[in-house]
Chains A and B, each alone.
Chain A
Amino acid sequence: MTTVLTIAAVLITAVALALGWDRVRVIGRVALVAGAVLSVAATVGVQVNRISGAFPALDKSGISAYGSEIVEVPVSGHGMSVPMYVYLPAAYRNNPAERFPVIEALHGYPGTPKTWLGKLRVQATLDGEINAGRMAPTVVLFPTQTPQPMLDTECTDLRGGAQSETFLTVDVPAYARAHYRIRTDPAAWGLAGYSAGGYCAANLLLRHPGRYAAAASLAGYATPGIDVGDGSQLTTNNDVWRLRHLPQPAAALWVGWAADDRGSAAGSRHLAAAVHAPLALTTAMVAHGGHSSAVWRQMEAPAFDWLSAHLAGPLS
């Protein structure tokens, strides 16, 4: 709808510019040009937003053909109050005695959890994998990682700023424990993420092995690429530094990237090369596709299958 509106605006301003030019004075001409430029900018903005899923419009939540459900809930804590989306598998309603494993799925920057639901079609992927028996019924949480859309937290606790790491590792799990029938033991908790969220997933696993058993990084990075405020982007929030200087946890890590996505490929390779026992590593590589949703969509099913095989299953 906004696409049609903005394209209509471009056409109208172009016609107005062409036809009105000879009838107005300088101020009028400036206004005509400004109108044309603004309408083009708006069109580009809407399309970029559509491609990146940065600020998608809210769509209806609902129950899928497989019986799974996406619900939106508000989660607050440590200065953050943001929406979270929750995937409840069909088995959640059908097997009321079972408690389910949990995956926290983290979005990229700029972005919101809605990118998972829209562009990355995660509900259909999860439905398909669970229905095929390649993945156990799992509750998947899609939290928002930042209090402001244009603030890049990289899921860290920014010194004097947003406490995203604490929010994601304490407040989100607490909310899930209080509201959903889930397993609360770390063996049943995993992390996933694409792009910046891939860095988040690997970094939070390495920093909190007592809370999570496995993580999957889809086209992620080895460093946050921001200034955390305490220099930790060079040390304890730098995954290669962590792997080289600190004991590695008994956990499992899936790292996937596209060979032609230079930034992610280099970071992921550094990260993967530094892993040793007891941390277990699985790598996955697609030939090309860049830093794009086509690559992440293709990685989704393999990554979620792998996660499910490394997390404790549903428990009655």
Chain B
Amino acid sequence: MKLTGIPLILLAAVVTVVAGAALVRWWSRGRLTRVVGVLLVETLAVLTVGLAVNRHEEFYPSWQALGGDTGTATHTGRVRAGLLDAHLAAKSFTWRPSGYPAWHLAGPPRVTLPADYRDRPAVAFPVVLCLGTDYARTGEAVTVTMSPTSATTPADLLALALELRRDLRVTGSGWVVPAGPLGSSVVSAGLGTAGRSAADVPPALAAPMTLPSAGVLT
């Protein structure tokens, strides 16, 4: 019988009324009968009202819900290691991934790692994408400095971002992306926000606890 169904509420109401009638009918049979009867009718009345309120407000739509069971497990993920993690010797290096020639850059990007990148294998680091030649180390972030040309497109920058996610242990959000049209695809992909300063990057964190996504919504 459904917790929020009319049949259960009717059943509770009928039982309450029957118990009330029985209490009146056998009121003179003794003190103990009276006490037990009064308590029983009170309990049944409260139960009936409770069921009706729950049906109306939909607090607990099912017996499972009433028991506190969500039928869902929270997932604790693990940070995926970057393909280059085992080969990194220097804190700063010239990055020549396989896709690089297709990005129409003036030269290969320069990557600068946080000082503790190799010491913290369980955390993913945020990314600062810089245009130009300034590749100063920025705290907890992986900094990628590149020189685009007039042929570089937003799609090229997104391809670079996705390649970076394979090669290094970086986050999937909170990146600092250069302002302007070139960063638009990276922002649209949900990787970061344009025009923030390097001080705005989120911290390097262990893999978050997650719940299942709702999937495609229409």
- Give A residues with C-beta under 8 Å from B: 10-11, 14-15, 17-19, 21, 36, 40, 44, 129, 132-136, 185, 187-188, 213, 250, 252, 256-258, 260-263, 269, 272-273, 277-278, 280-292, 294-295, 298-299, 301-302, 305-306, 308-315
Q: How far is the CB of A116 from chain B (nearest CB, A)?
A: 18
Q: Are B59 and A290 in contact (CB under 8 A)?
A: yes
B68 partner residues in chain A, CB cutoff 8 A? 289, 292, 294
* Majority-rule SS of B interface residues: loop
- Contact yes or no, A290 B193, CB < 8 A: no
Shortest C-beta distance, B218 to chain A (Å), equals 6
Q: Is the CB of A313 within 8 A of B140?
A: yes
A94 vs B199: C-alpha distance in the bound complex, in angstroms?
21
Contacts from B to A (Cβ < 8 Å): 27, 31, 34-35, 37-39, 42, 45-46, 50, 57-62, 64-65, 68-72, 74, 122-123, 140, 171, 173-174, 187-188, 190, 193-194, 196, 199-203, 205-215, 217-218
Residue in contact with B39 in the complex, picked from A14, A256, A273, A281, CB distance below 8 Å: A14
Given A15-B35, A250-B194, A312-B200: A258 in contact with B210 (beta carbons within 8 A): no
Question: Who on chain A is nearest to B45 by CB?
Answer: A40
Whether A288 lies near B187 (C-beta < 8 A) is no
Q: Which residue of B lies closest to A273 (CB)?
A: B217
A14 to B45, CA, bound (A): 14
Contact call A284/B212, Cβ cutoff below 8 A: yes
Q: Which residues of B contact A262 (CB under 8 A)?
A: 58, 61
CA distance A72 to B192 in the complex (A): 35
Given known contacts A284-B210, A309-B171, A250 and B193 CB-to-CB distance under 8 angstroms: yes
Instruction: Give A133 Cβ to nearest chain B Cβ, in Å.
Output: 4
List the A side residues contacting B201 at CB < 8 Å: 312-313
Q: Which of A44, A256, A291, A308 contacts B202 (CB 8 A)?
A: A308
Who on chain B is nearest to A52 by CB? B59
Task: Please list 17 pairs of residues, one from A and one from B, whose beta carbons are closer than 8 Å in the complex, sorted by A's number.
Answer: A19-B31, A133-B123, A133-B205, A134-B206, A252-B173, A283-B214, A283-B217, A285-B213, A287-B71, A288-B61, A290-B62, A291-B58, A292-B65, A292-B68, A299-B211, A309-B205, A310-B174
